[in-house]
Structure 1
Amino acid sequence: MTDYGHDLLFGTFITPTNSPPMHAVDMAVAADRAGLDLATFQDHPYQPSFHDTWTLMSFVAARTEQIRISANVLNLPLRQPAVIARSAASLDLLSGGRFELGIGAGGFWDAIVAMGGNRLTPGQSIEALEEAIEIIRGMWATDAPGRLVVDGSYYRVDGAKRGPAPAHDISIWVGAYKPRILRMTGRAGDGWLPSLGYLPGGPSDLAAMNAHIDEGATRAGRDPRAIRRLLNITGQFSASSRGLLVGPPEQWVEELTGIALDYGISGFILAADDEASIQLFAAVAAGVRERVAKERAA
């Protein structure tokens, strides 16, 4: 068993479709009213059928009350890191501390280049992401001496004024799958945000991936328990069981409890674009919280 001891978070992974324009907003409002913790949105600026994710998150923040908001995950190659830092701090301030920063190195390079981005190799994109995280943290560090200077190979700031400071300590959650970027997540991130559907071996793949994060954290002098592990999931609620996360809510409670306690996952984000699934997932969340609390107490 691997349990990093974080409080549990449950949320939705909402498709940011712009037709009809208000659908993604309505789903976020439904998740807020259901008592879920997170409303997250993928970020593909080259996809014309999607809203711009920053604009959408800002609109959602204004329409919701309690739920936290995040990109899942922000497309770094088409967004300048110093501006990301200021945008994130502003949204956190305006929402009363309800923003978290999910971010990724990029992947759809033909589309990124078509939108004016630079094509990077996988190794270069990881180096660029680590530089960006350093800049973002530096921009938020208003109590640090002097202006910010970062002379990176991909991103540079030369005497940038720091600030504003966000309303709370925004977490940086990294979308990552391969060993090198997983180690970087342990070295520089606050959390890890993969999708279960991209793991060929299913939940069992999480153990080896956690080990790479733990290694990166340890080598950097960090406690591996400081890095939260989240997971995007898909599934279907049905009367009978037909596989992992396909079945009645009671089955979901059992399976997610197992993933939480066996693999240290403390955040579950369901791809859901209908209110019925959001309501059922909120009920599942309550059941998982209760089961995990009992296991931890024991």
Structure 2
Amino acid sequence: MRFGIFVPQGWRMDLHGIAPADQWQVMRDLAVRVDERPAWESLWVYDHFHTTPEPTEDPTHEAWTLMAAFAAVTSRVRLGQMCTCMSYRNPAYLAKVAATVDVVSGGRIEMGIGAGWYEHEWRAYGYGFPRAGERLAMLREGVEIFRQAWTTGSATLDGEHYQVDGALVHPRPLQGTSVPGSEANGIPMWIAGGGEKKTLRIAAEYADYTNFAGDLEGFTHKSQVLAGHCRDIGRDVDSIVRSSNFNTIVGRDEAEVEERLKWLHDHLIKTGHTEDKADQAVESMRRQPAVGTPEQIVEQMGALRSAGLGYAIHYFAETAWDTSGVELFETEVIPALAG
């Protein structure tokens, strides 16, 4: 199993209380820390413009700007977004942005891509909010443009949603060209989402990685659906690395786990949650596979590994203030699962 970690960027109110002028330093320092810890293969951000669960005036830093900034201050760790919303940027333009950041980073970019879901954000930025079928059709056309652009240096598509005619993407990404051992398809594509008829079909056709449900039952079922689509098109499902995201709380013992859950509850109250919603969020966390002592997490995630989970991306809500949980995870959990 391989491991990635989210860096707080504000979308989940995880920079709340830190002055905007100081937030980049917090993110930069955490990125540098991850870069120096080989336990983590990758660092990640979300592609959102407004905070969740409610839009607020708390800062939410833009994902691809952060990709370029992280590329300049790190040297080893891979850089991804889970996941970029296809419809927020013209895909030919986005292919160019990603190729440029791949060059800046020395060939370390991961392209997480999905159809998008945050309706308030869509409408606020003037994108409308097309029905799910249209958003998925845009995703399919967009990933075709990516693949052409990164493998040939140009893209042409007369699609229903996107029309490009010889859009040039030079320089091409370093991945697939001048980085030894890199993907022939250019920047690795992570197709995010578990829609069984369309999203997982697109993943079977284009994905180097998938990203869907992290509970054992859901993950197992989605994996079976993905395998069916791969059989239909003659692709080996094991050529696709399956990943999931995890909200993570780890403590040396159950008392420390409770302390961290109490911190989360108090933080949610500070960011505007009602007492009831904070209680519900904490109770939901208790049932998640990456919450518990190191031994409990290893057992729960070991079952997912046995079911085919190859890559786990972890979100620690407290990292802007406290990295002790991350350190415990690095020393006690990752070594037990990485082999």
Q: Would the TM-score normalized by the shorter structure come out above 0.5? A: yes
Higher CA-based Rg: 2
Structure 1 length-normalised TM: 0.85
RMSD: 2.0
Structure 2 length-normalised TM: 0.75
Shift of 1:182: 1.7
RCO comparison, higher one (Cα < 8 Å, 6+): 1
Does 2:179 correspond to 1:175? Answer: no
Q: Deviations over 1:143-171 (max 9, x none)?
A: 7xxx5321111111112224322111321
Does 2:177 correspond to 1:159? Answer: no
> For residues 48-63 of structure 1, what are the structure 2 equivalents within 5 Å?
49-63=59-73
> For residues 30-69 of structure 1, what are the structure 2 equivalents within 5 Å?
30-35=33-38, 36-47=40-51, 49-69=59-79
Does 2:223 correspond to 1:219? Answer: no
Q: Which runs of 4+ in 1 moved over 4 A?
A: none
- Structure 2 spans left out of the alignment, 5+ residues: 52-56, 176-182, 258-285
Does the aligned pair in 2 maintain the 1:138–1:162 contact within 8 Å? no
Q: Identify the range of structure 1 (270-279 vs 119-128) with the bigger mean alpha-carbon deviation.
A: 270-279
* Aligned residue type for 1:248: T
- Structure 1 spans left out of the alignment, 5+ residues: 1-7, 197-201, 291-298
* Aligned residue type for 1:259: L
Between Structure 1 and Structure 2, how many residues are aligned? 274
Q: Secondary structure at the match of 2:36?
A: helix
Does the aligned pair in 2 maintain the 1:11–1:31 contact within 8 Å? no
| Residue 276 (structure 1) aligned to one of 324, 330, 334 | 324
Q: Deviations over 1:253-276 (max 9, x none)?
A: 2322221112x1111111024222
Identity of aligned residues (%): 28
| Residue 186 (structure 1) aligned to one of 180, 204, 208 | 204
Shift of 1:115: 0.4
- For 1:232 and 1:142, the matched residues in 2 are separated by 32
| Residue 28 (structure 1) aligned to one of 28, 31, 34 | 31
Does 2:86 correspond to 1:76? Answer: yes
- For 1:185 and 1:98, the matched residues in 2 are separated by 21
Q: Secondary structure at the match of 1:21?
A: helix
Does the aligned pair in 2 maintain the 1:186–1:215 contact within 8 Å? no
| Residue 246 (structure 1) aligned to one of 260, 271, 291 | 291
